[in-house]
Amino acid sequence: MKRFVSMFWVTTIPFFAMIALFLLVPLLSMIGGSFQAEGGGGFTISNYREIFSNPYYLQAFENSVLISFLSALIGIVVAVFATYAITRFPQALQQRVLVITNLTSNFAGIPLAFAFIVLLGNSGLFVLLAKQLGIDFGQSFTLYSWSGLTLVYIYFQLPLAVMLLYPLYNAIQKQWMEAAELLGASPWEFWLRIGFPVLLPGIVGTFSILFANAMGAYASAYALTGSNYNLVPIRIGALVSGDIFARPELGSALAVLLGLTLAAALIVNEWLTRKIRRDLS
Amino acid sequence: MKRISLPSLSFALVMLYLFLPVAATILYSLATEWNSTVLPEGLTGKWFAELYADPRFLQAFGRSFLLSFLTTVVAVVIIVPAVFSIIVYAPRMERLVQILVMLTYAVPGVIMAVGLIRTYSGNGIPMVIITAGAYLVGLLPYLYQGTRNSLLAMQARSLMEAAELLGASHWQAFVRIIVPNIMSGIFVSSLLSFSILFGEFVLINILVGGRYETLQMYLYAKLSSSGHVASAITVTYFVLMAIITGLVVKFTRRSFARKEVP
């Protein structure tokens, strides 16, 4: 093996120190903390037992998984079609559309929640418009509930989905379509038999990234409902930052479980992608 | 007559969906009164004037700018040379770095916040410094990817060998030859990093709270008091992001153009 030059050590030691200090040590400390009783002490699984026996925390997981799944699903279905439309534009226009999409991906968190308040909040644009038309959807829809939050989540899923899906369409070559057409296939048949199966591994991968993205999202929900809405990231934030009721050990256990959920999503994605690819070959 | 296809329809819907909130916020920031009518009653610039005269806004903006700028600079100074060294001198270590990159990418801010609080709160170190440290690690995926692409594109390893054969020291070769060549790539990654940090809310809110009010936190505080001023903040933030995105596009195009015409 090549002898490492001094430059190598000078540059990589701060780098690995940084990662150790601000990534590995905190993660390990969090995992360790999740197995401690309140205020420290020996090994215990009481935090986990509390989470699994408390309907409130179970509901937070249920809500988080549901909203993440739903927003990722709607986001990806719409984006699959919309991205395909983008790939059929002239090259220069495609680039412009992607820049705009990228720009809206910055519109997340607090600013995004606020924009939705302007549109759909208690005196939002659409709420007023509906009132003028004699419809009062104050009963069936409010922004500060499950349905409103889902709309906000879908907003930040869409640009991400388009950006991740766009490169996939390069894999489908024009010649395939022409060949299929020559052999008498309709566009629908082409997409069903050839196009979609080629895209599928990428779509599944993108879906799991969207799912993870929503599971960890904190700012939008926090801005809309404070700590009222029962989602896992909101619960974690409340458990560790509350000055009087801070319970960092319980927060750690929740965070570990959230991390495991994300890891599971990524592992399922790996497994599915590989399975689909094997079926193809 | 051409039928409207499903892709075009969904594209139009996506664009409408992405633009409506932006447009409404801009309109709201310029509206005089907009509480009972469908369209604003009149247009005015007074919300912006009020906002830009508010010292609390200017301070929050300054803090966000300072925190994002300094952290980005430190991240570039730490990460870029390290990625360079690893790619040139220890390519096998790239596997390890890739795992770390995946890890930073997969762990959401709210999880990091828990670990950081457990590890560092009450140690006397200001939590802003800890937050900045977490930001450094959070920028790793973007800076790693950007640096790696630039280095591979310019074939850094053979370039270093050539420079060293001609008698340059490692550092000389790095500073005089590698750095100027990857500068535009680094610049683009830095702009991206800066914009990501400028929009960050989770870590700073949980770790530091009101003790170091950034733009995002100021916006959160304003949500309940004045919708118009909050719109003006949002629009200001969005314009800044648009400028940064524009710069990124401009510089990426330029480096593409350079590649096409050697």
Closest approach of A279 to chain B, Cα-based (Å): 27
Cβ atoms A244, A176 nearer than 8 A: no
Cβ atoms B207, B131 nearer than 8 A: yes
- Give A4's contacts in chain B (Cβ within 8 Å): 89-90
C-alpha B135/C-alpha B132 separation (Å) is 5
- Give A215's contacts in chain B (Cβ within 8 Å): 108
HEC-encoded secondary structure of chain A: CCCCCHHHHHHHHHHHHHHHHHHHHHHHHHHHHHCECCCCCCECCHHHHHHHHCHHHHHHHHHHHHHHHHHHHHHHHHHHHHHHHHHCCCHHHHHHHHHHHHHHHCCCHHHHHHHHHHHHCCCCHHHHHHHHCCCCCCCCCCCCCHHHHHHHHHHHHHHHHHHHHHHHHHHCCHHHHHHHHHCCCCHHHHHHHHHHHHHHHHHHHHHHHHHHHHHCCCHHHHHHHCCCCCCHHHHHHHHHHCCCCCCHHHHHHHHHHHHHHHHHHHHHHHHHHHHHHHHHC
pLDDT of residue A246: 82
Ranking A266-270, B190-194, B212-216 by mean pLDDT, the lowest is A266-270
Looking at the structure of chain B, the number of domains it has is: 2
- Give B9's contacts in chain A (Cβ within 8 Å): 81
A2 part of a folded domain: no
A68 part of a folded domain: yes
Q: Which of residues 49-68 of B touch A (CB under 8 A)?
A: none
pLDDT of residue B132: 97
Nearest CA in chain A to B197: A106
Of B10, B100, B219, the CB nearest to A19: B100
Whether A162 has its CB under 8 Å from any CB of chain B: the answer is yes
The number of angstroms, rounded, from the C-alpha of A254 to the middle of its chain's C-alpha atoms is: 18
Chain A interface disruption, residue of B9, B86, B110, most A CBs within 10 A: B110
Whether B245 has its CB under 8 Å from any CB of chain A: the answer is yes
C-alpha B255/C-alpha B233 separation (Å) is 33
Cβ atoms B201, A219 nearer than 8 A: yes
A171 part of a folded domain: yes
C-alpha B160/C-alpha B177 separation (Å) is 8
Residues B147 and B211 in one domain: yes
Residues B169 and B109 in one domain: yes
DSSP state of B98: H
Chain A interface disruption, residue of B64, B77, B111, most A CBs within 10 A: B111
Cβ atoms A150, A177 nearer than 8 A: no
Q: Give me the mean pLDDT over the A223-232 stretch.
A: 85
SS3 of B125, please?
coil
pLDDT of residue B262: 39
C-alpha A152/C-alpha A108 separation (Å) is 9
Q: Do A26 and B205 touch (CB under 8 A)?
A: no
Nearest CA in chain A to B26: A115
pLDDT of residue A186: 84
Whether A267 has its CB under 8 Å from any CB of chain B: the answer is no
C-alpha A218/C-alpha A209 separation (Å) is 16
Q: Which of B42, B24, B37 is nearest to A119 (CA)?
A: B24
Q: Which of A193, A186, A189, A199 is nearest to A87 (CA)?
A: A199
Radius of gyration of chain A (CA): 23
C-alpha A47/C-alpha A34 separation (Å) is 7
Residues B108 and B182 in one domain: yes
pLDDT of residue B1: 45
Cβ atoms A92, A261 nearer than 8 A: no
Looking at the structure of chain A, the number of domains it has is: 1
Residues B39 and B84 in one domain: no
Q: Domain range for residue A99?
A: 53-280
pLDDT tier at B196, thresholds 50, 70, 90 = very high
Whether B25 has its CB under 8 Å from any CB of chain A: the answer is yes
Nearest CA in chain B to A218: B202
Chain B interface disruption, residue of A2, A19, A97, most B CBs within 10 A: A19
Nearest CA in chain A to B210: A241
A26 part of a folded domain: no
Residues B36 and B57 in one domain: no
Q: Which of residues 43-82 of A touch B (CB under 8 A)?
A: 78-79, 81-82
C-alpha A2/C-alpha A15 separation (Å) is 21
Lookup result for tokens 């030059």: A5
User: Length of chain B in residues, anyone?
Assistant: 262
pLDDT of residue B261: 41
Closest approach of A243 to chain B, Cα-based (Å): 11
Residue B224: pLDDT over 60: yes
pLDDT tier at B254, thresholds 50, 70, 90 = low
The number of angstroms, rounded, from the C-alpha of A45 to the middle of its chain's C-alpha atoms is: 29
Kindly report the CATH number assigned to the domain that includes residue A246: 1.10.3720.10
Exposure string over A95-110, b if 16+ CB within 10 A, otherwise e: eebbebbbbbbbbbbb
Q: Do A129 and B216 touch (CB under 8 A)?
A: no
Percent of all residues in chain B with a pLDDT value above 90, rounded to a whole number: 58
Whether A103 has its CB under 8 Å from any CB of chain B: the answer is yes
Residue B34: pLDDT over 90: no
Ranking A5-9, B13-17, B191-195, B212-216 by mean pLDDT, the lowest is A5-9
Write out the two tokens for A108. 């997340």
Whether A259 has its CB under 8 Å from any CB of chain B: the answer is yes
pLDDT of residue B249: 87
pLDDT tens digits for range A52-64: 999 999 999 999 9
A46 part of a folded domain: no
pLDDT tens digits for range B50-103: 899 999 999 999 999 999 999 999 999 999 999 999 999 898 999 999 999 989
pLDDT tier at B192, thresholds 50, 70, 90 = very high
A44 part of a folded domain: no
Residues B16 and B97 in one domain: no
- Give B140's contacts in chain A (Cβ within 8 Å): 19
CA distances for B260 relative to A25, B237, B254, angstroms: 45, 35, 10
pLDDT tens digits for range A103-112: 898 888 899 9
| Sign of the dihedral defined by the CA atoms of residues A104, A110, A116, A119, in that order | negative
- Give A86's contacts in chain B (Cβ within 8 Å): 11
Q: Domain range for residue B159?
A: 53-260
pLDDT tens digits for range A116-174: 988 888 777 888 788 778 777 666 677 878 888 999 999 999 999 999 999 988 878 77
Residue A73: pLDDT over 90: yes
DSSP state of B174: I
Residue B255: pLDDT over 70: no
- Give A114's contacts in chain B (Cβ within 8 Å): 25, 219, 223, 230-231, 234
C-alpha A219/C-alpha B201 separation (Å) is 6
Q: Give me the mean pLDDT over the B111-132 stretch.
A: 91
DSSP state of B92: G
A173 part of a folded domain: yes
Residues B98 and B221 in one domain: yes
Q: Do B170 and A78 touch (CB under 8 A)?
A: no
Of B85, B108, B118, the CB nearest to A30: B118
SS3 of B31, please?
strand
Lookup result for tokens 């968190």: A109
C-alpha B234/C-alpha B232 separation (Å) is 5
A85 part of a folded domain: yes
Residue A1: pLDDT over 80: no
